[in-house]
Structure 1
Amino acid sequence: MHLFPHLSQRILNTPLALHPQKAEVAVAALAERLGIARVVRADGSSIVAFDDDEEWSRPAREPQRGYDLVSGIAVIQVEGMLVQKTGTLRPYSGMTGYDGIRANYLTALADKQARAIVLDLNSGGGEVSGCFDLVDTIHATRGDKPVWAICGDHAYSAAYALASACDRVTVPRTGGTGSVGVITMLVDYSRAIAEAGLAVHFVHYGDRKALEGRQAYQGVKKDLLARLQADVDAMGDLFVETIARNRSLSVASVRAQQADHYLGAAGVAAGLADSVMAPDEAFAALLAQLGDA
């Protein structure tokens, strides 16, 4: 049985700035796909195996422009699960890489044809790794060009962190913002392994080497949970402080949200968004600001 390692390593045992419902969807998708594996070759082509008898390869996508220029506005798509690196400039296979967003953003800043930049957001969040460095890059370049975060639907957690760094955040009536928190999932396989009559033995150097992995197979102890909680708390504090800085809010007020998420106007009231607008209305408002009205 294949174990779908590429997806599992991005979801399990790693901190995520991800809306809880989106985390559940990701875990459910992983469970359904046990027995499916995707292997990426060194030349960029991929092999997808659905069972032992069916597999095929396909070449990597052809290089393409990373953003669209619409009336002189660079529109950068931010969709699906956010991950540190995909090696692509656009959303691909349900993921968007921080590497692609960064490349697009910096290119658009230098693009003389781009008078403004829009992050077109529809994401429940994703990995912590790589997120806050990109957020700081966007925040540090405020004022170079107008940068708007236009939520097509929702921008939660890591996606909201990116939105918060922009000059203006708009959200539709039925869209959402917030979920300023961090979550990590540690799966304990020990009972299932014991019931199957199996035992897993680790040979390692260093008492803390692969501690999470060892306890996942041999039984999770309270000291490991406490250690992981401390790590998550540290990342959560960084998240809260970053949002407070970006949105000119007090740290206490952001922390008091307790990673809640807000629909439409409630996000504006909480200070997380600036206005309730449909995406086309928000785009028209940006054009008007640029003098195209």
Structure 2
Amino acid sequence: MSDLFPRLAQRIFNTPLALHPQKAEVALTALAERLGIARVARADGASLAFDEDEDLGFDDEARPCRAGYDLVGGVALIQVEGMLVQKTGTLRPYSGMTGYDGLRANFLTAMEDPLAEAIVLDLNSGGGEVAGCFDLADLIYASRGLKPIWAICSECAYSAAYALASACDRVTVPRTGGTGSVGVVTMLVDYSKAIERSGLAVHFVHYGSRKMEETRAMHGGVKPDLLERIQRDVDVMGELFVATVARNRNMSVEAVRAQQADYYLGAAGVQAGLADAVMAPDEALMALMADLDAAAPQ
């Protein structure tokens, strides 16, 4: 087995995620069989089935490396797609993931690129890791006014992807695309019953009562006090997310919090204050180029 799937599991389980729920389910089911999990059950009791022939973007083979962004008519187009993770070591989306490290490098390079008159985040992502997300969103927000920065959703910008989109000067979304899902989730898997049925016992020898607490819970059962502690951490990060979007979109914290991490399709996102216009991606790019032409010295 490629080491890709264990690495994906490390990024998905027991770590805070700003991820659209449906995208979390897809990632979880894609990993299930490869990690020895026979079936995955949703909170409502329904089983999640996975089609082995379905292409979810988690390729074992690496894509060939390319330059970090494309220049089209003086606009630097930076791809933001798939699962967002803290680091991939690549400038382009790789194996269904985009790294905040690559996005930061691309963004800073484009800001200094004399041929790039404007920057576009070309978004199609359900979100991803919290780690690295808000630092990058702050960088984008702090760069407003230096060059036009647009978030153009080729389809969706949910959760962590929306945090980045909201930091841009302008957000556009197609009619069938979506924005929002301003929330945080941590998935803690409890293997204790499966281990008990198998006749196995797992023993941890450790120093410090809180050492490997979440790992021990996975094998020995999740205690209420651990869930309470994780909930506190998730609440802190959730409030940071809400405050960030409120600042970026000039909305009240109460208005963003009241959305309760809901997501919105097309024009509903504009009505909710999360997007500025419903536009097809090519239409949005042409509108940005028209703005650049209008602002150019005659």
Same-fold call, TM > 0.5?
yes
Q: Structure 2 regions of 5+ residues with no counterpart?
A: 37-59
Question: In 1, Cα distance between the equivalents of 2:14 and 2:100?
Answer: 20
Aligned to 2:178: 176
1:250-269 equivalences under 5 Å are 250-269=252-271
Secondary structure class of the residue paired with 1:291: helix
Secondary structure class of the residue paired with 1:290: helix
> Could you tell me whether the CA contact under 8 Å between 1:153 and 1:176 is conserved in 2?
yes
The range that moved more, 73-82 or 283-292, is 283-292
Q: Residues 249-283 of structure 1, C-alpha deviation per residue, up to 9 Å, x if partnerless?
A: 00000000000000000000000000000001000
Aligned to 1:17: 18
Question: In 1, Cα distance between the equivalents of 2:22 and 2:64?
Answer: 33
Q: Alpha-carbon deviation of 1:182?
A: 0.2
Aligned to 1:6: 7
1:161-240 equivalences under 5 Å are 161-240=163-242
> Could you tell me whether the CA contact under 8 Å between 1:15 and 1:184 is conserved in 2?
yes
> Could you tell me whether the CA contact under 8 Å between 2:6 and 2:35 is conserved in 1?
no
1:143-158 equivalences under 5 Å are 143-158=145-160
Q: How many residues align?
A: 272
Q: Residues 31-87 of structure 1, C-alpha deviation per residue, up to 9 Å, x if partnerless?
A: 13236xxxxxxxxxxxxxxxxxxxxx97x6655310000001000000000000000
Counterpart residue type for residue 131 of structure 2: S
Question: In 2, Cα distance between the equivalents of 1:125 and 1:215?
Answer: 27
> Could you tell me whether the CA contact under 8 Å between 1:193 and 1:217 is conserved in 2?
yes
Question: In 2, Cα distance between the equivalents of 1:61 and 1:124?
Answer: 21
Aligned to 1:67: 69
Q: Residues 150-178 of structure 1, C-alpha deviation per residue, up to 9 Å, x if partnerless?
A: 00000000000000000000000010000
Q: Do residues 142 (structure 1) and 136 (structure 2) align?
A: no
The range that moved more, 62-71 or 281-290, is 62-71
Counterpart residue type for residue 121 of structure 1: L
> Could you tell me whether the CA contact under 8 Å between 2:63 and 2:94 is conserved in 1?
no
Q: Alpha-carbon deviation of 1:30?
A: 0.5
Question: In 2, Cα distance between the equivalents of 1:93 and 1:284?
Answer: 30
Aligned to 1:28: 29
Question: In 1, Cα distance between the equivalents of 2:66 and 2:261?
Answer: 36
Question: In 1, Cα distance between the equivalents of 2:147 and 2:139?
Answer: 13
Secondary structure class of the residue paired with 1:166: coil
Question: In 2, Cα distance between the equivalents of 1:262 and 1:166?
Answer: 18
Question: In 2, Cα distance between the equivalents of 1:33 and 1:216?
Answer: 18
> Could you tell me whether the CA contact under 8 Å between 1:83 and 1:97 is conserved in 2?
yes
Aligned to 1:245: 247
Q: Do residues 85 (structure 1) and 52 (structure 2) align?
A: no
Q: Structure 1 regions of 5+ residues with no counterpart?
A: 36-56
Q: Residues 187-223 of structure 1, C-alpha deviation per residue, up to 9 Å, x if partnerless?
A: 0000100010010000000000010000110110000
> Could you tell me whether the CA contact under 8 Å between 1:2 and 1:34 is conserved in 2?
no
Question: In 2, Cα distance between the equivalents of 1:276 and 1:217?
Answer: 48
Question: In 1, Cα distance between the equivalents of 2:80 and 2:66?
Answer: 16
Aligned to 1:109: 111
Question: In 2, Cα distance between the equivalents of 1:106 and 1:130?
Answer: 15
Secondary structure class of the residue paired with 2:91: coil
Question: In 2, Cα distance between the equivalents of 1:286 and 1:2?
Answer: 42
Question: In 2, Cα distance between the equivalents of 1:240 and 1:115?
Answer: 31
Q: Alpha-carbon deviation of 1:2?
A: 8.3
Aligned to 2:129: 127
TM-score, structure 1 as length reference? 0.90
| Alpha-carbon spacing, 1:62–1:124, altered in 2? closer, same or farther (3 Å) | closer
